[in-house]
Amino acid sequence: LCPTFSISKTDGRTTVQPGETLTYVVNVQNTGNAAGSNVVLSDTLPSGVTFVSASDGGTVNAGVVTWTIASIAAGQTVQRTVTVTVNGTVSNGTVLTNTAAIGAAQGSDTTTVQILQKFADLSIVKSGPVQVIRGGNVLYTLSATNAGPDTATNVAMADQIPAGLTF
């Protein structure tokens, strides 16, 4: 008689953005015919994340979260969670692979970092007189509009002075 374990895990996500939080849910089932005692479950965090918390007394050391589960009866399933934040410096397309293990039994989850591009829809309208008097002043007005959906930052606007005019 001996315990045998299977592990499944998910964060319920396929993509994530930098700065967002992921909560990995780890399910451990004893598929054997005897109870397991002092079962050590380890969860290796992917690079590019920062540990936030772990359920049920899980501790983190060098990027590995560890739980010691006092007993898992035959047929019983226990659940543990670990929460991380995706670092702001993680590149678009990075695949975060998180793996939990008890001995040789492993369960993995992959999530791809997806940096959503921000878009601003800028337009400029220039207005001014149709005719001018030689030697007179001319006033042009430039109006910029952002139809969104995102805020435009560090916008520079330039206008070329028409031939025959001086600034």
Q: What is the CA angle 95-98-102, rounded to 5?
A: 155
What value does the CA radius of gyration of the chain take, rounded to a whole number of Å? Answer: 29
Identify the pLDDT of residue 68. Answer: 96
Asked whether the predicted pLDDT for residue 30 surpasses 90, the reply is: yes
Of 14 and 59, more confident: 59
Identify the DSSP state of 48: T
Instruction: Decide if 112 contacts 142 (C-beta within 8 A).
Output: no
Tokens of 41: 């479950």
Asked whether the predicted pLDDT for residue 140 surpasses 90, the reply is: no
Tell if the pTM clears 0.95, that is, is over it.
Answer: no
CA atoms of 7 and 46, how far apart (whole Å) = 18
CA atoms of 56 and 27, how far apart (whole Å) = 13
Mean per-residue pLDDT of the chain: 89
Residue with tokens 């589960």: 69
119-129 pLDDT per residue, tens: 778 899 988 88
Task: Identify whether 162 is preceded by a cis peptide bond (ω within 30 of 0).
Answer: no
Antiparallel, parallel or unpaired: β 105-113 and 15-16: parallel
Instruction: Decide if 140 contacts 157 (C-beta within 8 A).
Output: no
Q: What is the CA angle 26-27-32, rounded to 5?
A: 140
- Cβ-based burial of 74 (10 A; exposed 0-12, middle 13-18, buried ≥19): middle
47-89 pLDDT per residue, tens: 999 999 999 999 999 999 999 999 999 999 999 999 999 998 8
Of 79 and 108, more confident: 79
Identify the pLDDT of residue 118. Answer: 65
Of 56 and 162, more confident: 56
Identify the pLDDT of residue 156. Answer: 86
Mean local confidence (pLDDT), 10-23: 90
